[in-house]
Amino acid sequence: MDILKSFAHPEELLALFRFKLGGCDAVIPKYDYGTMSPSMKVCLELLVRTSRSFAAVIQALDEELRGAVCNFYLVLRALDTVEDDMSIPNEVKVPMLKNFHHNLLDPDWKFMDSKDKDAVVLQEFPHISKEFRALPEKYRDVIWDVCAKMGNGMTVFLERKVDTLEEWDEYCHYVAGLVGIGLARLFSASGLEESSLGMDTALANRVGLFLQKTNIIRDYLEDLNDDRIFWPKAVWSKYRPDIGDFAKPEYQQEALACLNELITNALELIPSSLHFMSQLHNQSVFNFVAIPQVMAIATLERCYNNPKVFSGVVKIRKGEAVRMMMGSSSFDKVKAIMKHFVVQIKARIPESDPHSKQTHSLCQKALSLCDTSQQYSTSSIYPPLYVSMGLMLSAIAYNYWSQIGQWYEDLL
């Protein structure tokens, strides 16, 4: 049980405990289920069932944006479910992806033959498309446009694998950069953020790239077992002729060097991530953007030079995740969290690593942008042991009885 691991980290027990007491306004949904339309209820259920890490932050968005972002998520999750479904032959899949956006206008379209874990969004698609058609035009335009571009882009990488770093950026643009671009446009369209945010597509793209690259790096083993490869060949082939070799203990040195090179590449995106967040004014939008970014940097820190990436799943402890989410409520706090993880990475760069200099200078650059007097570190005073014990008992009780415990169960 994850909670027991947090016992070794008293500050996380404190976070779980405060969270239980309702100290986390950022991620507790607040809406009236009673006045909702039946299709909206289905959509909310689909959101909670299919999104491992985004359901809570989407539901916590201001009313004005919540419906549009929820719909944006479900439409793209449905599209991604087609992309990911290995049981659909490419001759069927290519036209499905290319024409997917037209399904938004067809009240009856659904797909009952998917074998994917998220097949339910395709089976229940009429509820999603109904909510889409009920949205204001300014939001529909964005969702429609991104859905068309993403569907087309996904077909590019169905037949061929990601080779160069440019192609890695291109693939990540289709599946996540376009989400960042769409979100920035939705924020601007809502009037909650400035219109200039939605116009800087290169910046919003990189915010999405940071999340997707982190996922791809972390999911090496899971993707390998599913016979999928998203690590760019131009990078891994420098270390081994077969990417599967990284999972063999005798090639651990090569595996770690490759892993660290990809993490170094992802670290280049930190300045853009910070710059994007610095422009946000609305609190709910800020939390929605910052929480995934902070989770990503924590994940990169956990993965850096870590052989476990090649033998199992590298996860952020629940207590750690909750503590970060609660701490992500202002730009200064986010800078403090980022600084904390970048410092950890910097301290762990092996002298022998082929990219140590580059990694070091990117950490340095990130740290210069994270300059803040805010504190985020385990060095803060620990509660006395008996307090920790009490907190642990509360946390265990929390784990059993909490109504909202479910959502963070699957977090990252």
Active site (catalytic) residues? 171, 218, 228, 288
Identify which of residues 84 and 245 has a Cβ nearer to Mg ion in the complex.
Answer: 84
Contacts to ligand D61 from residues 199-238, by CB under 6 A: 207-208, 211-212, 215
Q: Which does 286 bind (CB under 5 to 8 A by kind): Mg ion, ligand D61, none?
A: none
CB of 132 to ligand D61, least distance (A): 13
Q: Is 265 in the site for ligand D61 (CB under 6 A)?
A: no
Q: Which does 353 bind (CB under 5 to 8 A by kind): Mg ion, ligand D61, none?
A: none
Instruction: Please provide the distance, in angstroms rounded to a whole number, between the alpha carbons at the two ends of the chain.
Output: 16
Q: How many residues bind ligand D61 (CB under 6 A)?
A: 21
Exposed/middle/buried for residue 318 (C-beta within 10 Å: 0-12, 13-18, 19+): buried
CA distances from 3 to 169, 242, 305, 356, 390 (A): 37, 38, 25, 35, 13
Identify which of residues 13 and 296 has a Cβ nearer to ligand D61 in the complex.
Answer: 296
Chain-centroid distance, C-alpha 45? 20
Query: In 3D, which of 314, 377, 318 has the Cα closest to residue 342?
Result: 377
In this chain, which of 64, 84, 167, 254 binds ligand D61, going by CB under 6 A?
84
Q: Is 84 in the site for Mg ion (CB under 5 A)?
A: yes
Query: In 3D, which of 231, 166, 174 has the Cα closest to residue 205?
Result: 174
Contacts to ligand D61 from residues 180-199, by CB under 6 A: 180, 183
In this chain, which of 14, 60, 65, 76 binds ligand D61, going by CB under 6 A?
76
CB of 34 to Mg ion, least distance (A): 35
Q: Is 80 in the site for Mg ion (CB under 5 A)?
A: yes
Looking at residue 32, the DSSP 8-state letter turns out to be -
CA distance 206 to 188: 18
Identify which of residues 82 and 263 has a Cβ nearer to Mg ion in the complex.
Answer: 82
In this chain, which of 3, 12, 56, 80 binds ligand D61, going by CB under 6 A?
80
Cβ count near 38 (within 10 Å): 9
Q: Is 175 in the site for ligand D61 (CB under 6 A)?
A: yes
Chain-centroid distance, C-alpha 275? 18
Q: Which does 176 bind (CB under 5 to 8 A by kind): Mg ion, ligand D61, none?
A: ligand D61
Identify which of residues 28 and 387 has a Cβ nearer to ligand D61 in the complex.
Answer: 28
Q: Which does 213 bind (CB under 5 to 8 A by kind): Mg ion, ligand D61, none?
A: none
134-143: which pairs have CB atoms within 8 A and are 24 or more residues apart? 135/67, 135/68, 135/71, 136/68, 138/189, 139/68, 139/71, 139/72, 139/186, 139/189, 142/68, 142/72, 142/182, 142/185, 142/186, 142/189, 143/68, 143/71, 143/72, 143/75, 143/104, 143/182
Q: Is 145 in the site for Mg ion (CB under 5 A)?
A: no
In this chain, which of 17, 72, 239, 341 binds ligand D61, going by CB under 6 A?
72
Q: Is 245 in the site for Mg ion (CB under 5 A)?
A: no
Q: Is 176 in the site for ligand D61 (CB under 6 A)?
A: yes
In this chain, which of 17, 54, 100, 236 binds ligand D61, going by CB under 6 A?
54
Cα torsion 247, 250, 252, 258: sign: negative
Query: In 3D, which of 65, 93, 89, 58 has the Cα closest to residue 79?
Result: 93
Residue nearest to ligand D61 (CB): 208
- Residues near ligand D61 (CB under 6 A): 54, 69, 72-73, 76-77, 80, 84, 175-176, 179-180, 183, 207-208, 211-212, 215, 288-289, 292
